[in-house]
Structure 1
Amino acid sequence: MTDFDSHLSRRAFGFGAAALGALAALPAAAQNAALSAEDRAVVAQAQAYLQGLAAAQGTFVETSGAVRREGRFYLQRPGKMRFEYTNPAGLLVVSDGSNVKRYDPRLNTFRQVPLGSTPLATFLANNVRLDRGVVITRVTRMQSGAFAITARSQSRPNDGSAILAFAGSPLRLQEWTITDAQGVRTRTQLTTMQPASGLAASLFQLRDPTQRPRRN
């Protein structure tokens, strides 16, 4: 997530446009008409899982090229998520339900973009839909029951793609990989994930630490 603009913008994340609900002119059934009945069942399974994911916490590892980052995450749908990096220490990415904010203490920089312009909106939406505004180009099913879904934006197909990987019994989202328009891949693995309750509201609040109070 360096480069907040390249990793959290709609331009870099082709999937982000779909998350916004930027629906294509074609009806959803036509967008994914090439999928088999088995593939469509898998997509429905993934959608049901994401819809039922109300609150969770765990750890993650993010890799892009030779760069590796890790930390903890907290999720509370709809709209709220927190990526709390331990490496590099202090880096924060927080969605408060309206905006996604990023603070890097090493550079003393703070930025924010609307949640709707990021791919996080897909996971955090009140109603998760994988059959609108997105073209599912591939469903990979394995004998173990694990599966992966490859998708790109219907309206901005050249902006990149996303792969969501699910496995386990009970099913859980294990990782996602984003490939941007330049071919740069960022992989986020959820190394642990468990249901959470009573998450503090303060986890999903982030004021601009670079703004100092004005003196009268």
Structure 2
Amino acid sequence: MPVIAIAAPQPATGDLAAVQHHLRSVETMTAAFSQTDRAGKVLTGVLTLKKPGKIRFQYEKGVPILIVGDGHALTFIDYSVKQVQRWPIGNSPLAVLLNPYRDMTKFAKIVPGIDPRILSVEAYDPKHPEYGRITLVFIRNAAAPGGLMLQGWVALDSQNNRTTIRLSNQQFNAPVSDRTFNWNDPRRNSPKN
């Protein structure tokens, strides 16, 4: 009986390996963010990330929305209309940030650029275009985890709606309480995870 060799997944190499190393080196991150939607409207706030799977977009005072990832699902809360929407984290382009152990070679590629200090990575699931795509933008920075500093990303949803996130004042691997990812359910006014 012939022996059949099964090819092992190829590890990421070069710049893609550097991105994967950075993502695996970041256990927590806080940053100020500015979000620009397709109409040019800009919102600001604070992003808090804790791996695996936890993220919080706390918008500026007066903006009645909140986005929280609890490790399993992303929840969009609109307090002005008391609406809550949930979807699996794996169905979101943000999964690339929240699950550092996925094999990036299966869903990400380096986007060629002019400035060698800037590194862009486009990630999407070709089997599920409805999940959208994300282009992460890093700048080479020896003082940052893995030698890269996440500057932000551009997310494109399945309807081609573009959202741009720019980060500043990034802080890495400081303690972050799991309670940071609790939220008040506007339908019941009780804390949720």
- TM superposition score category, shorter chain reference: 0.7 to 0.9
Farther off after superposition, 174-183 or 42-51: 174-183
Superposition deviation, residue 146 in structure 1 = 1.4
Structure 1 residues 158 and 28, CA, compared in 2 at 3 Å: closer, same or farther?
farther
Q: In the alignment, what sits opposite 1:78? A: 52
Q: Which residue in the other structure is 2:34 paired with?
A: 61
Instruction: Show the counterpart of 1:194.
Output: 171
What stretches of structure 2 of length at least 5 have no aligned partner? 1-7, 143-147
Counterpart contact for 1:56–1:195, Cα < 8 Å: yes
Structure-1 residue corresponding to 2:91: 117
Query: Would you say the 8 A contact 1:58–1:192 is kept in 2?
Result: yes
| Within-5 A mapping of 1:1-216 | 40-65=13-38, 66-86=40-60, 88-132=62-106, 134=107, 136=109, 138-157=110-129, 160-170=132-142, 171-211=148-188
In the alignment, the residues of structure 1 paired with residue 157 and residue 9 of structure 2 have an alpha-carbon distance, to the nearest angstrom, of: 23
User: Which has a greater percent of helix?
Assistant: 1
Higher relative CO (CA 8 A, sep ≥ 6), structure 1 or 2? 1
Q: Secondary structure at the match of 1:131?
A: helix
SS in 1 for 2:171: strand
Does structure 1 retain, via aligned residues, the 8 Å contact 2:108–2:121? no
Change (3 A) 1:212 1:162: closer
Shift, 1:118, TM fit: 1.8
Give the SS at the match of 2:104.
coil
State the aligned residue count: 177
Residues in 2 aligned to 1:160 and 1:126: alpha-carbon distance in whole angstroms: 19
SS in 1 for 2:179: helix
- Seen in structure 2, the aligned counterparts of structure 1 residues 92 and 131 have a Cα distance that, compared at 3 Å, is same
TM-score norm. by structure 1 comes to: 0.71
RMSD: 2.6
Could you tell me how far 1:190 is from its partner in structure 2? 1.0
- AA partner of residue 124 (structure 2): R
Over the matched positions of the two proteins, sequence identity in percent amounts to: 24
Go from structure 1 to structure 2 and tell me whether the alpha carbon gap of 1:161 and 1:197 turns closer, same or farther (over 3 Å shift): closer
> Quick check: 1:70–1:87 contact (8 Å CA) kept in 2?
no
- Distance in 2 (CA, whole Å) between partners of 1:115 and 1:158 is 13
Instruction: For 1:164, give the aligned amino acid.
Output: L
Contact 1:175 1:190 in 2 (8 A): yes
Give the TM-score of the pair, scaled to structure 2.
0.79
Cα shift at 1:47: 0.9
How far does residue 189 in structure 1 lie from its aligned partner after superposition? 0.8
